[in-house]
């Protein structure tokens, strides 16, 4: 049976526990081994897991339901599709050896970027607010690399740029840098300086939602835009403990992953031609950055972090649905100080 999937294995290779020393070489080696073996050992579960989620979405589409967060993803249908149905994804995978070695399997924790807002991401599924764009229904499944089982009740936290490449709260550059171009060399090559946070209350395209009993967290958003030096991407964090706040957001005390998720370049190029993506201010100035040319080299170092994309209806403008499976190690705990409370970096990521 052929297996089509977008699979993200998040090896906690550089983790540290709050108040404890950095992981030992043995711990790092063990984490890497779990990551390397995950797709091989868990292949049957991964196949069934993808089939279950895709079948649920396909059933809802056939039923002709409304396209909102409550109806696009029906939990009662998730157990359907456990028959190993063929799936669409980043690459066709024919055997377990390929599943283990293919670029759909990746690792490495990456930067959260400078636009993460502590206590600024509402606990919700519909994250678009007033932002216009192509509807994008996001399905993220979380699996335990130790057991191959879904991880329920962890908080999946995501955020991304709008159609013109801006993040909520950061609409404009510093006035002194309005004519700044991409850095020509160094670690910031291709990037602009971070846009300041001018608005403390904007929350569009930011959300967090706990995984259900199937280890799945789902969101309704718009397809993300791009900005200088970066390929189209969505940021993700996975928290195991969190405290809801009165304003609808949360604080976290235990983080097990920080990463970024990508989309195939061919699809990005098609969407670039659709309004309002045609209004991106750098479209005719510097142009978009392809995955392989991402200034932070994130996609290059983890090429399997790509959504499995399907059209919702008969035409692209009806929206897209993206699935991805994330393998995490719940035993690890990132240093909360470095993960959530350090000052933001000085360059736009």
pLDDT digits (tens, 9 = 90+) for 79-121: 433 332 222 233 333 333 322 322 233 345 667 888 999 999 9
Q: In sequence order, which residues have a C-beta less than 8 Å from that of residue 188 and are 6 or more positions away?
A: 295, 347
Distance, first Cα to last Cα, the chain: 40
Structural contact between residues 88 and 4, judged by C-beta atoms closer than 8 angstroms: yes
Q: What's the pLDDT at 62?
A: 55
CB distance 89 to 2 below 8 Å: no
SS3 call for 317: helix
Residue-level pLDDT at 59 = 65
What is the structure's pLDDT at 24? 61
Nearest Cα neighbor of 320 from 6, 56, 67 is 67
Region of 205 please: left (phi>0), alpha (psi -120 to 50) or beta: left
Low-confidence ranges of the chain (pLDDT < 50): 1-5, 11-21, 66, 69-70, 73-107, 336-349
Tally DSSP H helices, then E strands, for the chain: 7, 11
Q: How many CB atoms lie within 10 A of CB 245?
A: 13
Residue 296 pLDDT: 78
Say what the pLDDT of residue 300 is: 66
Q: What is the pLDDT of residue 9?
A: 59
Of 81, 82, 80, 62, nearest to 71 by C-alpha is 62
Stretch (H or E) spanning 83 = none
Task: Please compute, for residue 297, the number of CA atoms within 13 A of its CA located in the half-sphere on the CB side.
Answer: 5
Which domains, from first to last, does the chain contain?
A: 3-338 (2.60.130.10)
């Amino acid at each position: 049976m052929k297996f089509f999937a977008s699979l993200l294995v998040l090896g906690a290779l550089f983790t540290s526990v709050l108040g404890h020393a950095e992981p030992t070489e043995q711990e790092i080696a063990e984490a890497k081994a779990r990551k390397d073996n995950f797709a091989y050992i868990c292949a049957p579960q991964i196949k069934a897991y993808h089939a279950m989620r895709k079948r649920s979405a396909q059933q809802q589409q056939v039923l002709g339901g409304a396209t909102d967060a409550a109806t696009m993803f029906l939990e009662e249908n998730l157990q359907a599709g456990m028959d190993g149905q063929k799936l669409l994804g980043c690459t066709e995978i024919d055997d377990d050896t390929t599943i283990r070695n293919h670029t759909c399997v990746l690792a490495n924790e990456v930067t959260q970027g400078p636009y993460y807002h502590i206590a600024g991401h509402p606990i919700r599924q519909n994250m678009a607010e007033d932002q216009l764009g192509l509807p994008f229904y996001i399905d993220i499944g979380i699996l335990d690399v130790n057991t191959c089982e879904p991880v329920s009740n962890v908080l999946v936290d995501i955020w991304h740029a709008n159609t013109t490449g801006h993040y909520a709260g950061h609409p404009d550059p510093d006035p002194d840098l309005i004519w700044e171009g991409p850095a020509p060399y160094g670690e910031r090559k291709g990037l602009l300086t971070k846009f300041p946070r001018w608005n403390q209350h904007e929350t569009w395209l930011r959300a967090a939602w706990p995984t259900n009993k199937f280890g799945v967290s789902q969101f309704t958003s718009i397809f993300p835009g791009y900005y200088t030096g970066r390929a189209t991407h969505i940021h993700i964090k996975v928290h195991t403990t969190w405290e809801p706040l009165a304003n609808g957001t949360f604080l976290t005390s235990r983080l097990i992953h920080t990463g970024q998720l990508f989309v195939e370049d061919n699809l990005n190029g098609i969407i670039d031609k659709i309004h309002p993506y045609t209004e991106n201010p750098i479209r005719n100035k510097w142009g978009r950055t392809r995955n392989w040319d991402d200034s932070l080299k994130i996609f290059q170092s983890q090429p399997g972090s790509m959504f499995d994309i399907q059209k919702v209806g008969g035409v692209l403008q009806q929206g897209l649905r993206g699935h991805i499976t994330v393998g995490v190690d719940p035993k690890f705990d990132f240093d909360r100080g470095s993960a959530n409370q350090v000052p933001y970096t000085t360059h736009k990521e």
